[in-house]
Structure 1
Amino acid sequence: MSLVAQLYAARWILTYALLALYTANKLWKYNRLRAFRGPFSTGWSELWHTSVLLSKQSHIYYKEINDTYGPIARIGPNDLITSSPELITHMNSVRSLYTRSYWFNAATRVEPGKDHIFSELNEEKHAKRRQQMAAGYSGKENIALESDIDARVQELLDLIRNKYLSSVSASYPVDLARKIQFFTLDVISTIGFGQAIGDLKADADQNDYIASGEIGLTIVKISSALGLTSYLQFPPIARLLGPSEKDKAGFGRMMATARNLIETRLTKSVEGRSDMLASFTRHNLTKDELLSEAILQILAGSDTTATAIRSAMLYLITHPRVYNRLQREIDATVSAENVQGIIQNSVLQKLPYLQAVVREVLRMHPPVTDVVPKLAPPGGDTVSIAGKQYYLPGGTNVSYNAWGMHHDKEMFGLDADIFRPERWLLEDTEAYREQLDAMRRTTEMIFGYGKYQCLGKPIAWLEITKVLFEFLRHFDWALATPEKPWRSTNYVGIFVQDEMWVLVTDRKPRV
């Protein structure tokens, strides 16, 4: 009897055997995490999590899950999500045995096989890359950092004053979301490559960076949600479907523009230069590594900071009490410090209400809500959260619920869903200091923690505080379309926002 005939004769036995193996595998996966509650389907299928990742508001769904099922909840057969700062601190600490998870971080690679600091899964290589890049981000080898940012802030102010000022005789609505993106792109290209892309001066999306970034983020979202990363990054498929510098849009277009910036910059000596690229080159990053990091800088460095500034302006405009108090602090500072040009960071750090406003904005609307899952160590791990013990089986993906953590009522008060900067200016008593310290430690995680902390945090904070100070110093603001303040879409943790139409009028400081 031929093999085919034998297989045909045993077809029902084979069918039942395969069905039994499939069922046993599903039961094994279900039982591994049966101690954690979640939507019923998440114990058996990725369908719920896939639909959330493909949605435009994944951060809201994640918050609802932890609100409903507790600080650690199940969102897939091998996936948990947590809103616990204790667990996030534990997983991200320098000596932690937790590692990055392939399904999420690898999906952010621009080119297959070429990692940047966020997609790198090897812990030793990741630590080395951080060491190579730290000096460039810190300003130690980028001494013109603040003056470069000041120049872009001035260009932003000039653009608004010259083209978009409204008055009692005429209104000129401006999409502030788009202008802020021009600003953050020009900042990151200036401090990164020594020259601005030029969006502010052109008042346009030069090289279609913004449009290309949205296309690229869409591909990342689909790849991670459907589990296609390993297939799309398989070399034969990647050559056919992956980004190419010949592309007219998407990551390929961004790669071509970034390569041109890098090659132009590398024709100049790095000696005596103080931009990030010079620092990275001095610390032995190759040209391919520079390209990968450049794409990440442009996306992560511009989109997240832009989201923070947009959110700050939206919350300020819609909360007149906060707006007016901050503007009074700014006017008093201009008078007391005799501020002439762009405000300096040394002064900004002494403004308690401005610092409180920024921290509250970042808490209310974290600029990045990517879940950045970590893999539990092979032998598993037992953790304690609020006095309760949890066992996390080895190889389990444990994700970060940013929106849930930073709207937690036990941590931030019963009004945690309300914008109130005064919560950061608590009375000076020991009890309040302890609570304030806990709140601060929690919000520090917005920029990552421990070995995964964002290197660009000081730069982002500098951009945000400078822009808010100068915006309220020179102009008055109102929403042009209060019934629809903006359009905001979440691409697996990165927000794309536009149509934030505002009216801007000139003002003189009132002391």
Structure 2
Amino acid sequence: MFEFSLLLSPFLFILPLLFFFFSFIRTKSPSSPSASALKCYPIIGSSLEILANLNRRIQWTSDLIRASPSATVVIHRFLGTRVVLTGNPSNVQHILKTHFHNYHKGQTFAINLSDFLGGGIFNADGDNWKFQRQVSSHEFNTKSLRKFIETVVDAELSDRLIPILSMAAANNSILDFQDILQRFAFDNICKIAFGYDPAYLLPSLPQAKFAVAFEDAARISSERFSSIRPTVWRLKRLMGVGSEKRLKLAVGEVREFAKNIIREKKEELKHKSSLDSTDLLSRFLSSGHSDEDFVTDIVISFILAGRDTTSAALTWFFWLLFKNPDVEDQILNEINEKSELPVFDEVKDMIYTHASLCESMRFYPPVPADSKEAVSDDVLPDGTVVRKGMRVTYHPYAMGRLEELWGSDWPEFRPERWLQRDPDTGKWSFVARDPYTYPVFQAGPRICLGKEMAFLQMKRVVAGVLRRFQVVPVVEDGGEPVFTADLTAKMKGGFPVRIVERAYRE
């Protein structure tokens, strides 16, 4: 995740600098920065450019990385503090694997998300993280959990998503497809994590209490990273006002709701001689991890991870399909070829669809940048010096746009770059990129546990939706969605579409 650690300190209180700020805004356009053009002043560093590009920080930092010969940029902030941004695969491997022990989530990340996530796996470092990773890894690597996930996804698809799309097609109505996919993902992850159905994807599109509280808690927690200084939100929390008051109420509701489910599940498991529930909560409790705070933290972390990542990936995927109808035709051919296979085999053999999803996430990774904190002094493989306490951000969004990694045709949406055709059979096989060139699911010891679950869900949605419908964005001529990111990527303002029923295909 991109820690908004680039944000400036409260130098605006230093009145003489206001003149320089406003003259800079008037004379320089932030639309196309380069590393050599990055302005750095005494005391304030590059804070003026940071502020000027605040609303397009992902795109701006991507441009900086792409303009750098080493694909690494050091940005100077207020009072000499520095942050490192990199799209260099050697540096990414160094951070995420070779010197993993030296790059932690760090205090900034932990403090900003502590009220919401507590000590959960995505907010933890050291032995606490290692213990949770071992427990979670064991539970994820079971056939019964995979089968349970398949069942949950298929039920949500056939009972809720498809009927809503069918109704929209019949009525020629406009849907916010981003919202629909988020609701779909939220129902799924709650069933998988808690064994609880929030029923967020119903025809009425309800404001389910738990879902709304969870959304508020995630959004306000992410806004802490955008605060000019941590003291601002800490003071608001101390005084119990504004967004921090709303965050306290939302977090309280989420955690109390989660603990009630945990208590009910504990009581339920007492009366069972064997485990017939396969949600993650039941698995954690049955394996002896009964501490309410521990289980609450870890399950809420998994809901956060599964709630927006797959829906974000699918939102941008359907947009790219609209722009590339030849790719959509290829996927439709594959879907029709596999339609007679069992669900698991259908998903497993959807090679071209898998490649298309990977290509889509190259352009629009659900987590566009992720930041770590150096435990001690270090030097990255490209020679960049890192001091203890510095934030180091690797940038999948920028990396997907680097010509040296993807070739001169990198701007093209071309799933074939992930495929290799057998000269004898003519069949495609998938060729993965190394995770340090394509760190969309992280890499090294923290590589995403839910990667296979995410692909299973996405391919089932793609097959289920495209088999029956065409998703047609409602855009102005030449209109392009705006990529924006908080904890995860989104389309700014949603993704309005019309659903068109396909003619029957033999």
Structure 1 length-normalised TM: 0.78
Distance in 2 (alpha carbons) for counterparts of 1:457 and 1:52: 35
1:179 aligns to what?
Answer: 180
Distance in 1 (alpha carbons) for counterparts of 2:45 and 2:111: 17
- Decide whether the 8 Å contact of 1:371 with 1:399 is kept in 2: yes
- Decide whether the 8 Å contact of 1:149 with 1:463 is kept in 2: yes
- Decide whether the 8 Å contact of 1:37 with 1:73 is kept in 2: no
Deviation at 1:158, TM superposition (A): 3.5
1:259 aligns to what?
Answer: 259
The residue correspondences of 1:31-180 to structure 2 (distance < 5 A) are 39-41=38-40, 44-45=43-44, 48=47, 51=50, 55-69=54-68, 70-76=70-76, 77-93=81-97, 96-102=100-106, 104-111=108-115, 114-121=118-125, 123-140=126-143, 142=145, 143-166=147-170, 171-180=172-181
How many aligned positions are there? Answer: 454
1:204 aligns to what?
Answer: 205
- Decide whether the 8 Å contact of 2:193 with 2:281 is kept in 1: yes
- Report whether the alignment pairs 1:478 with 2:472: yes
Read off the aligned partner of 2:379 and give its amino acid letter. Answer: T
Read off the aligned partner of 1:186 and give its amino acid letter. Answer: D
- Report whether the alignment pairs 1:396 with 2:390: yes
The alignment partner of 2:268 has SS state of coil
Distance in 1 (alpha carbons) for counterparts of 2:247 and 2:232: 22
Does 206-215 or 257-266 show the bigger shift? Answer: 206-215
- Report whether the alignment pairs 1:327 with 2:332: yes
Distance 1:245 1:193, change over 3 A: farther
Deviation at 1:140, TM superposition (A): 4.7
2:30 aligns to what?
Answer: none
The alignment partner of 1:80 has SS state of strand
1:504 aligns to what?
Answer: 499
Deviation at 1:48, TM superposition (A): 3.2
1:30 aligns to what?
Answer: none
Name structure 2 gaps, 5 residues minimum: 1-34, 424-429
Deviation at 1:443, TM superposition (A): 5.6
- Decide whether the 8 Å contact of 1:349 with 1:355 is kept in 2: no
Distance 1:172 1:234, change over 3 A: closer
Distance in 2 (alpha carbons) for counterparts of 1:136 and 1:88: 28
Deviation at 1:398, TM superposition (A): 1.2
Read off the aligned partner of 1:147 and give its amino acid letter. Answer: T
Of the three residues 293, 297, 311, the one matched with 1:306 is 311
The alignment partner of 1:503 has SS state of strand
Distance 1:287 1:328, change over 3 A: same
The residue correspondences of 1:345-364 to structure 2 (distance < 5 A) are 345-364=344-363
Distance 1:365 1:107, change over 3 A: farther
The residue correspondences of 1:199-278 to structure 2 (distance < 5 A) are 199-201=200-202, 203-208=204-209, 211-226=212-227, 228-229=229-230, 237=238, 250-269=250-269, 271-272=274-275, 273-278=277-282
Distance 1:145 1:411, change over 3 A: same
Distance 1:260 1:110, change over 3 A: farther
Distance in 2 (alpha carbons) for counterparts of 1:217 and 1:279: 25
Of the three residues 439, 442, 447, the one matched with 1:445 is 439
Read off the aligned partner of 1:150 and give its amino acid letter. Answer: D
Deviation at 1:260, TM superposition (A): 3.6
Distance in 2 (alpha carbons) for counterparts of 1:258 and 1:177: 26
- Decide whether the 8 Å contact of 1:149 with 1:187 is kept in 2: yes
